Amino acid sequence: MTELYLGLALILLLTIAIGLVRILRGPTATDRMLAAQLFGTTAVAILLLLGQAAGNSAIWDVALIFALLTAVAAVTFVRRKDIDSTTETEEHDGTD
Amino acid sequence: MELALIFDLILLITLIALAWLLLASSDIFRAVVLFIAFGLLLALAWVRLGAPDVALAEAAIGAGITGALLLVGLGRLGSAEHYRGTRTRLTFLQRLSAPVLIGVMIPSISLILLLELSLHASATPGQQGLVNVLLDVSGTNHGVTAVLMNFRAWDTLLEKGVLLLALISIWSLDQARPLFRQNDISPQLTGLARLLLPIMIIVAGFVLWQGDHAPGGAFQSGAILSAGILLAILVGYTLPTRRQGLSLRLLLAVGFSVFLLVAAATLLSSDYLLKYPDSLAGSLILLLELVATASIAALLAAAVVGGHPPDDLSKPVDRSSAVNGGQT
């Protein structure tokens, strides 16, 4: 059973590694931010699986904190965009 | 076990790649998002290393405060989203220096590390045995908390002092500016905050209490609370002006001050700094953790806000008017 949990966690970790492409290529800031948010959700799933595999409930607490707090960065991002919404020209982003 | 090894290897490679990419990124916003992702994976790495205490702290700090702090800082840089470093053409020697540094430094550091590792082939448990023996008299049932709050409480005392000093430095620079416009806050945001804030407070309390017998404690709990305070600020809550004076400063300083008082009292009564009387150890640790949580939460949130409250509280200065505007 431990193998199954670890295997699933491994697949989820691979999806994070592949998802990095979205952060790197964008093209808009929102794409990058949402990719990081998605990683937060994936990390919660990985932590739950690792906790199950190791039988350690402290790992679930880490997952709980991630689930609660990743939203704060997203809210900051949304509120920050309010303030400079006049300069929203992101078409030529991520072309380096 | 094979799977665990593959998992660790991929995690390690992704971490190093992330670190490299975020340092080399010319787009600062992209670097910030990469740093948030780095924090997530770093917490996973701490879990795999069998250090749930550190993973908990990394999760509480990395997921909540750090991302917000960097995003706010980026906003302060002006039209920062499009800020890029300028690239200059490199001379031949400059071009050569990177491969030489990487080609010489990394192999030699790896070699030294390998030699060191081969000397200490068997991992030593460190002070674990000693901690377990003394756990009964420490006043808590979790080894890490016992070390942080009792055996090495001196370090924790200084850590509180460093946090306080950091905020004093931030406050000495400038007056706080409004982080965000206070108008048109979407109802979804307010709803999200109303939903999340009570849960955050409960979880912070849970993590603090859990520090007695499992990973958790004042720092993690304070970091969760500070994320909650930040969320409240983001949806437009403000500290009432009459609380921005002495009350705020007392809250910021109470953790360090009480710790210092306890240190002085133990020094006078037992000739040893922070050597608690056995019967009082549990209660003293709980008291210190409680005040430390309050101070850490306030300090971290104040650091994100940046700058001291307006000097003349009765008459907010024009720049900060939006911060206080919510109450009029």
Residue A34 lies in a domain: yes
In the three-class reduction of DSSP (H, G, I as helix; E, B as strand; rest coil), residue A11 is classed as: helix
Residues of B in contact with A46 (CB under 8 A): 44
Instruction: Tell me the shortest Cα–Cα distance from A59 to chain B, in angstroms.
Output: 6
Q: What is the pLDDT of residue B291?
A: 92
Establish, for the pair of chains A and B, how many residue pairs have beta carbons separated by less than 8 Å. 175
Torsion angle, CA of B255/B257/B259/B263, rounded to 10 degrees? 180
Q: What is the pLDDT of residue B206?
A: 92
Tell me if B63 and A70 make a contact (CB, 8 A cut-off): yes
Residue B274 has pLDDT above 70, yes or no: yes
Residue B201 has pLDDT above 90, yes or no: yes
Residue A39 lies in a domain: yes
Burial tier of B284 (Cβ tally within 10 Å: 0-12, 13-18, 19+): buried
Enclosing domain of residue A19: 2-84
Instruction: Tell me the shortest Cα–Cα distance from B322 to chain A, in angstroms.
Output: 12
Alpha-carbon span B148 to B160, nearest angstrom: 12
Q: What is the mean pLDDT of residues A34-47?
A: 92
Residue A44 lies in a domain: yes
Domain boundary assignment for chain B = 141-328
Residue A94 lies in a domain: no
Q: How far is CA B199 from CA B100, B227, B290, in A?
A: 53, 12, 18
Residue A25 lies in a domain: yes
Q: What is the pLDDT of residue B314?
A: 53
Q: CB–CB of B231/B65 below 8 Å?
A: no
Sign for the pseudo-dihedral over CA of B165, B170, B175, B176: negative
Residue A78 lies in a domain: yes
Q: CB–CB of B216/A64 below 8 Å?
A: no
| B308, β-bridge pairs | B175
Q: What percent of chain B has pLDDT over 90?
A: 25
Alpha-carbon span B328 to B296, nearest angstrom: 30
Residues of A in contact with B203 (CB under 8 A): 64-65, 68
Burial tier of B155 (Cβ tally within 10 Å: 0-12, 13-18, 19+): exposed
Q: What is the mean pLDDT of residues B184-211?
A: 89
Domain tally for chain A? 1
Residues of B in contact with A64 (CB under 8 A): 203
pLDDT digits (tens, 9 = 90+) for B28-65: 888 889 999 999 999 999 999 888 899 999 998 888 88
Alpha-carbon span A48 to A55, nearest angstrom: 10
In the three-class reduction of DSSP (H, G, I as helix; E, B as strand; rest coil), residue A94 is classed as: coil
Residue A11 lies in a domain: yes
Residues of A in contact with B3 (CB under 8 A): 3, 6-7, 10
Residue A17 lies in a domain: yes
Residue A43 has pLDDT above 90, yes or no: yes
Average pLDDT over all residues of chain A: 81
Instruction: State the alpha helices, DSSP H only, in chain B.
Output: 2-24, 28-48, 52-59, 67-76, 92-119, 128-138, 143-146, 153-173, 187-210, 218-234, 246-270, 281-305, 321-324
pLDDT digits (tens, 9 = 90+) for B151-166: 888 899 999 999 999 9
Q: What is the pLDDT of residue B202?
A: 94
pTM for this entry: 0.81
